[in-house]
Structures are given as C-alpha cells and as structure tokens.
Structure 1
Amino acid sequence: MRPNVRLSANLSMLFTEAPYLKRFGLAARHGFRAVESLFPYGEAPASAVAAELERHGMEQVLVNAPPGDWAGGERGVAALPDRGGDHEASLREAFVYAAAIGCPRVHVLAGLRQQGACEQTFVERLRAAAGEAQSAGITLCVEALNPSDVPGYLLPSQARRRREDAARVVDAVGHPACGLQFDLYHLQKAAARWPSEAVRCAIRTYAPRAAHVQIAGPEGRHEPDAAAAAAMLALLEEGGYRGHVGCEYNPAGGTSRGLAWAAAYGIEAPREEPA
C-alpha cells in the first residue's frame, strides 16, 4: 500500500535547468500535483503562474512573503521594529500574488537578531495581519531556521530551548490563520541527525499542529536519504499530518536523477524527457 504522503515540488530549487514557467510542466510530468516557491514575484507574473497551474492540473501550496533585501543579507522584516512599512508592503504583495494563484499559505520571515528582530514585534504584526489573512483564505506560516545556515535568525530551532521555539510564536499569536511551518531539514540541522530521539520527539510533537512540512537531507541540503525520509514521513502520518510535504532541496546530480527516494510516493522521472 502506498503511503498517504503528498509531495510538493519547490520550483525555486527543483527543475532549475528550465526557465521558471517551464518547471510546472516538468514537475507534473514527474508526478507532482502540487508546487511551492520561495520568492516567485520576480520570476513570473501571477497570471502566468495561474495559467500554468490550470494547464497542468496543479495547485500552489506555499509562497514566501518578500523578505526585504535578501542579497544584502536580510532574512525577513516582520520582526524588525523600524520596518513596519516594509513589512506591510511585503504582506500586501504576497496576499495579492497568493490570491491570484490560489495559494493558501504564506511563509512570513521574521528577520535576524543582529538586525534588531524582536519576538514581541513579530507576534504583534502577525496578530494584526491574521484577520486579513483569514478573510483572504490564507494561513500565515512561521518557521524555525537552523543557526548553521541562517546565523542569528529570530527563531533558530524547533527542538531546543522553548524560547527559540517557533510554535510558541504561533501560540502567542493565537489565531487560526497563523500556523506552524515544520521543516525536517532545519530540525535535523538544529537538533541532531536522523535517527535520534530528539528528532523523533519533535516530529511527534509538531506533526499534529503543522500547517506545512518540508524535507531535505541534512548534508548539503540535497535530496533526503530514502530510508530516513520514509521513517520521518511515517511518523508524520502517525501524528495525523495530512498536508503536503515540500521537497525544498538542491538536487545533487539533477532533479530527475535525485527523485529515486520519492518513488514510493508516486514521484518518478518520465520515461521520455521532453524535448
């Protein structure tokens, strides 16, 4: 029996051998029925993305809100007290784009502590935006980013001290339109490699409340090991998670070649590659 796991392709990282709009068709040919993206705003107009989603019978399950000056080192502005206007502009752009493509989740990046990120500010701004998000059919997602990859991120762990727990921010916001984005890659980087009881415990704890899940192998952020992925995804299922699991990784040797681990979930390279 095939596991009840629905994978989504992160088109900012997979199928990058093709232009952005061509990646939707490639993902569909490999068996994906859902996609997600990091920052699609400069990649293609929302109308063009919506057309590709309809053409291939797919859904977009997640986008990130614009993060500020990414090239300049910013990793979100939502928790920066002096960037309220930029935060509001970021959410406006994300909401308009998400509505146009039918995307129900927007990941809001908090920002870096060394740039002034403040948890109270983050909570207050998410709480203030939650009503509008709910009216638009959008869930605001909060994610922990591991301190090795993103030093100084406001929420650096999902499994260490409670003061660093993204789930606590979601609890503090206290609104159904704010949910937890649970990334198994960041979990493994911040806590311990799989297999470990720390990772098992975190999956059991957060699976029931996750609004979205993502996966990658901890070494080099490449495709996950098949056995490790199967074990972690089984724990997610046991915990009651029924949403999509985003394949948010950098393929080590080409997207198609690296999808062997996902064959159990209905994802595989087509027999004939498109010309």
Structure 2
Amino acid sequence: MPKFAANLSMMYQEVDFLDRFAAAAADGFDAAEFLFPYGYVKDEIKSRLTDAGLGLVLFNCPPGDWNAGERGMASVPGREEEFKRSIDSALDYAQVLGNQRLHVMAGLLAPGQDRARHREVYVRNLSYAAAQAAAHGITILIEPINTRDMPGYFLNYQGEAHEICEEVGAKNLQVQFDMYHCQIMEGDVATKLRRNIARIGHMQIAGVPGRHEPDTGELHYPYLFQQIDQLKYDGWIGCEYRPKNGTSEGLGWLRSWIGKKH
C-alpha cells in the first residue's frame, strides 16, 4: 500500500514547527517532509525526528528571498553562484537529517523575459545540482507547479519536466509528481502517472480545488492509490495539503485507507 508522509509545513499548524514531528507520529505517520529547515539548527531537527521515530523524506533547497516573493533560482540568469551556494547549504542539512531527496525550485519567469534563456540556465544548474548530490547518494527533484497558486512559475507541465530530466541525463534527477498541481494544469492524472512512473521520484497529494484533505474535491484518490500499488511504486507520498478543520480531525481518509488494506 502507499506510504504517506506528513507535510509539516502545511499540516499541524496548531502547534509550533518543532512540535509537529511528535504530533505527526502520534497520528501514525512514519515519515515527514517540509519546505525549508534553514531557520532551525540541524541537530535540533534531527533530535525531533529521532524522538518521534520519523524518517525525513525531503525538503526544498533554499529558494532565494521567499518573503520577498522569490520561488527558487534554478532558472534565473545571473543567480548561478547563489544557486551553487544553495545546493551546498541543502546538502549540508541533508547529511545531518538523513533525507535522500531534495526539491530544487525553478523560480519565476516574468512577462517579457526570454524563456529559452531561462531554460538554458535551468538545465545547466540542474546538471550541477545533480552532480553535487550524486556524491552524497541524493536525488534532485523538480516539480511542475500550477500557475494559479504560483503565477509565473517557470515549470508547469509534466511533459516538460520529463523532457528536461532527459536532456540533463542524470540518473539522480527525477520529477516530483504533485497530483494537485497536475490536475489543475492538465488533468488526466492516472494516465500521466502510468506513463511517467519510471522517472517519478516522489509524489504529493491534496484535494482539488481547495487543497484540503484528499477525500474532498474532484480527484478520486482511492482509484489513484490503487494505480500506484499496481505500478509498484515504493516511494513516499507527501500529504501536502491544508487541513480544513484541524489536522488530526481530518485524517479519517488515512485511517479509512489503511483499514481497507488490512
């Protein structure tokens, strides 16, 4: 059956970030993911993971100035040296925290900017990131993100993400398949899942369109979970959604799915 990881940036906001590890474990999660660890001491996060008995699946490389609206640097011309430093920082954290996947955010493309130029920079930076990460046994992930939640984001479609991975040609560069983003941008989620499974390195879920629990909205996740089982995907599925009325209270979907498998 699929393995689910709690996304601690979106879930358990009822408590402080460092207390979310124990809260997730208490609800039966065995692993976690989150956006950024850089505002916290590495050893403190590691201690919380260990105390809760959680594995860490992934986090994002530094995205630039998040509070100022930046959403990554990988495709942004002129930021190459800063991008390299961001990879160093992420690998430094990963070596302590134990995760084997890092998500590299592409960045924004403003109206009128040269998309071809951004793509060239993106491919070159991803080649660098993959080479650096390979030395540590870490996989780099890229994720198509919908333009409604993140207007101007450089990478929006599954097909382009897989084309870029093929162009870079690194075995440890894979796609982070977020079914929420995919449904909003292009739909046909199950077909894309089956077609691209060989290069999908991580999955994420949320209800569409509200980004709440996956048992709400238009996507029928029980069917998709069955497809994932049939494809023999053995990675984690990140629960990257905003609980509608309390995190623990909204986990009936998870308890129901686990119950069906036993």
Q: TM-score, normalised by structure 1?
A: 0.87
Say whether 1:35 aligns with 2:27.
no
What is the Cα deviation at residue 28 of structure 1? 0.5
- How many Å separate the matches in 2 of 1:73 and 1:57? 34
CA contact (8 A) 1:207 1:240 kept: no
- Give the corresponding residue for 1:68: 64
Deviations 1:234-265 (A, max 9, x none): 11222231100000010000101111111145
Number of aligned residue pairs: 253
> Residue deviations 1:150-183, cap 9 Å, x none?
122111122xxx4xx2111111111112111110
Partners of 1:86 and 1:233 in 2: CA distance: 39
Tell me which residue corresponds to 1:206.
Answer: 196
Structure 1 gaps, min length 5: 193-197, 268-275
In structure 2, give the amino acid aligned to 1:233: F
Unaligned runs of 5+ in 2: none
Q: What is the RMSD of the two structures over their aligned residues, measured on CA atoms?
A: 1.7
Residues 1-275 of structure 1 mapped to structure 2, 5 A cutoff: 4-42=1-39, 44-114=40-110, 116=113, 118-158=118-158, 162=159, 165-192=160-187, 198-225=188-215, 228-266=220-258
Percent of residue pairs identical: 40
Aligned mates of 2:155, 2:170 — CA distance in 1: 19
TM-score by length of 2: 0.92
Please give the secondary structure, in 2, of the residue aligned with 1:214.
Answer: strand
2:46, 2:97 within 8 Å by CA — same for their partners in 1? Answer: yes
Measure how far apart 1:120 and its partner are.
1.5
State how far apart, in whole Å, the 2-side matches of 1:91 and 1:220 are.
Answer: 32
Q: Deviations over 1:38-93 (max 9, x none)?
A: 11211x21101111111122110010011111222211101111111221121111
Distance 1:266 1:30, change over 3 A: farther
Which shows bigger deviation, 110-119 or 142-151?
A: 110-119
Tell me by how many angstroms 1:266 deviates.
4.2
Change (3 A) 1:265 1:244: farther
Which amino acid is 2:109 matched to? R
